[in-house]
Amino acid sequence: MDREKALPVSSGVSASFRRRAERVAVVALVLLASLGAAGSGADDTVVFARDRLTIETSDGRSHRFEVELAVTPRQRARGLMFRREMAPHEGMLFVFEVEDHRSFWMKNTLLALDLIFIDRWGAIVGVARDAVPLDPTPIPSGVPAAGVLEVLAGTVDRLSLAVGDRVVHAAFRE
């Protein structure tokens, strides 16, 4: 799923983005070294660091997730492909350098998923519910997004998540 065109790295990246990216990279390296987390599919050579995030809803509820971080083009290309299971409180967070329109697919993805599109500030700006496993049809964000959180299908409805709720994670500006 999660095939995204690689964007060229701009030399005009802001200092605040570099600080944010450095925080994410440090967290990813520390977690990678301590956990040694790896994908579990046809090819286990793609390694993902693990981290935590919280979704704060507009009515004051908080929902914690354990996530794998997809921050490199190789990690984003692999995503959750070939996974056969994932716990209800787990997901994968795709982090991008710039906000842009995103398009994902479910090719080689065996789990039905909800996709949560997130702006650079951590606000949920869009949701795609119940993405069909193995479907190559593009799933567009519809609006610019700096991150995408993939969770099991039904999670958005089960937790009553909505556009405007906030994802709290070091990848997003505070």
CATH number (domain holding residue 45): 2.60.120.1140
Domain membership of residue 4 (yes or no) is no
What is the tens place of the pLDDT at every residue in 100-138? 999 999 999 999 999 999 999 999 999 999 999 999 999
Q: What is the pLDDT of residue 173?
A: 85
| pLDDT band for position 30 (cuts 50, 70, 90) | very low
In this prediction the pTM is: 0.76
Whole domain around residue 127: which residue ranges? 15-168
Domain membership of residue 89 (yes or no) is yes
Domain count, the chain: 1
Domain membership of residue 86 (yes or no) is yes
Domain membership of residue 142 (yes or no) is yes
Specify the residue for token string 């995503």.
79
- Decide if 116 contacts 151 (C-beta within 8 A): yes
Alpha carbon distance, N-terminus to C-terminus of the chain? 29
Check residues 3 and 53 and name the one with the higher pLDDT. 53
Whether the predicted pLDDT of 12 surpasses 50: yes
Q: What is the pLDDT of residue 115?
A: 98
What is the tens place of the pLDDT at every residue in 16-27? 655 555 555 544
Domain membership of residue 58 (yes or no) is yes
Which three-class secondary structure string do you get for the chain? Answer: CCCCCCCCCCCCCCHHHHHHHHHHHHHHHHHHHHHCCECCCCCCCCECEEEEEEEECCCCCEEEEEEEEECCHHHHHHCCCCCCCCCCCEEEEEEEEEEEEEEECCCCCCCCEEEEEECCCCEEEEEEEEECCCCCCCEEEEEEEEEEEEEECCHHHHCCCCCCCEEECCCCCC
Domain membership of residue 162 (yes or no) is yes
Domain membership of residue 7 (yes or no) is no
